Structure formats: C-alpha cells, structure tokens
Structure 1
Amino acid sequence: MRLIPDEMEALLTPRLAEGDPIPPDDRLAAGSMLALEDLYHSQKPRLLRYFARRTDGQEAGDLLQESFARLAGTAAEPGKVIEEPEAYLNRIATNLLRNRAKSALQRSLGHHIPVEEANLRAPDLVAALEARDLLNRIQSALLKLSPKTRDIFLAHRVDGLSYREIATSMGLSVKGVEWHMTKAIAHVDRVMRRR
C-alpha cells in the first residue's frame, strides 16, 4: 500500500492543536477499560471456580459480575488509582461472600423462635386412638350399606358432588339421590349413637 503525500501528512499531524480543548476525563478511560477487559478475561475462570466452591453454582456468575462491576465503579472514580487490581478484585470477591453470609444469617435469625415460645407438645395418643376408633366405626357402618347407597353417600360427602351431578352420573332422579342420602345418614347416625 502506497500513501500519497496528502494522506501521509494527515497521519503525521497531531490531532489536537495547541489551542484545542482537552477532551473530558470520561473520554480518557478507554485505556483503563481495555485493562479491565484484559483483567476480566484473565481472572474470570479463577473467580468462577472460587465462587462455585463456596456457593451453589448458579450464584457464581452473578457474584463474578458483581465483583467486576464494583471494580469498574471504583476504577472510574476520579483520582482513584488501583495499583494491584488482582488483589483488589480478590478482596471484593471475599467481601461479597462475607456480605452474603451475613445476610443469610440475618434472614435465618428472623425465622428463629426461642425455645420458651416454641410449641413442643407431643402428639395426644388418646386423641389419636379415639380418632382411629371413630374412623373404624364409620367405615364398618358404611360397609353395611348397600353398594348403591354407599356410592352415593361417598360421592357427595367425600368427592363433593352435588345431588344433581350424582343423579346424572347414576341415572337416578334428584329425589332418588336424596332418598339414598337420607338412608345413609340415618344409618351412620344410629351406628355412632350406639357406642
């Protein structure tokens, strides 16, 4: 490639003349951004392993991003020079993990109940035996019903079907379903009163 004299002169002349204003400080950070990108590429695998060993794997990427965001924020402060960015990045990573551990501890303490306030009663064995006895009596009462009456009773009381839905599914009238329910309820009531 051969340059003609005008192009060569344009390359050799300084871009800023003596009277030109200096660009603002926020435009001078291109070099530091390149250094940050190089630091990111060199430290990313090591930091990801560091975070993955100390947290669950899903948080490692977030912690890596937050570490570099804090580093970039500190590096962008005017007059702030970070002499050893790797050591500074390590300190940021350690502090992030420490802060997360403190937050987790505070959350767990928020759910803490003092022993004096905890309800530590043992299950009531007598009530459990009575409930089991009651269930056995109801079950034996239901087994003494005719299959059709038992099915209608269970469809309404257990499955929550309406009389109309039961009548439609069993090919009965609503009055027929009412008759079976009345019969079942009276029978269960008699068995329960006999005790």
Structure 2
Amino acid sequence: MSFQAPVGQQSIAALYNDHHGWLLGWLHRKLDCPHLATDLTHDTFLRVITRPSTPDCREPKAYLTTIARGLLIDHWRRQDVERAWLETLSVLPQPLVSSPEEYMQVLEALYQVDQLLNKLKPKVREAFLLSQLDGLTYSQIAEKLGVGERMIKKYMAQAMLACLSAELVGAV
C-alpha cells in the first residue's frame, strides 16, 4: 500500500514539477541574480501552497507570473525604502543605529509604514503626509489639495484609522 497525496497536493506538486524551472529562468532574467531568483521562486510556490484553496490553473504560467510579479514589486519597494534609509543615515553626523539588529528593526518598521501608506487612497496619503511631515494645518492642506477643510478631516480620520488598525500609531 503506497501513500497517495490528496488531489490539491498532487496538483501543486505537478505545478511545481512542470513550472519550477521555467519560473526560475523568468525571474533570473528579470533580476540578473541567481540567488534572488531562487528565493523569489521559492516564495512564489510558498504562496501557492499556503493559499486556502487549491488553484484551478488553466493558465499556470500566468498564475505563477502574477504571484512572482507581486513579489518582485514588493522586493523593489523594499529596496527603495532601504536605499532611502541609507541615504538618510549617510547625511547624519553620527549613526542613529548602532547594531545590525537595530538596523533591521528600523528597516522593518519603515517597510510597515510604507505598506500602510501605499494602501491609502492617494489624497488621503497626501493629506496625511502633508500634516505629519510638513506640519501643515488642515486649512493649508485643504488649500493645497483643492478641497474643503471638512474633507481633510475625513482624510485624516481615514489615515489615523489605518494607523490604528496596523498598530503603527506610535511609529508615526
């Protein structure tokens, strides 16, 4: 008597066997880095495996490409955040971060803030940033965005609610 995997696992195994090499090659061409391509290929299949339902893949390459493209965008966004943090550190007179652990904690917090901001509607994000970073009053923001002050209050409430739900209020 031999072990037989459930149908969902069989289809995921077949998806992996049939398309792993192709996806790895596709990512390698996009990234020109075999190690990162390997990591993102692994992460793509991990996303497939951890989905609550087994995909019905009529177009497996399109399905895998969609997942991998999202991971690529996340990777590039994280690189942009890290690059901006390093540029900020380079102009400061003394390092703010003294250990690799603290450096990674700050980066992780920045990634979370970046994700939060990117989930906000553009005007909500802009109003929030004008308030928090530029220190503008609601009336100044309203004038700048061409809306009423009441709308700015709504935007700020939406942004604050998003911060609260992400548990980032202390970090903002």
TM-score by length of 2: 0.44
| Structure with max Cα Rg | 1
The structure, 1 or 2, with the larger RCO (C-alpha pairs under 8 Å, 6+ apart) is 2
Q: Which has the higher helix share?
A: 2
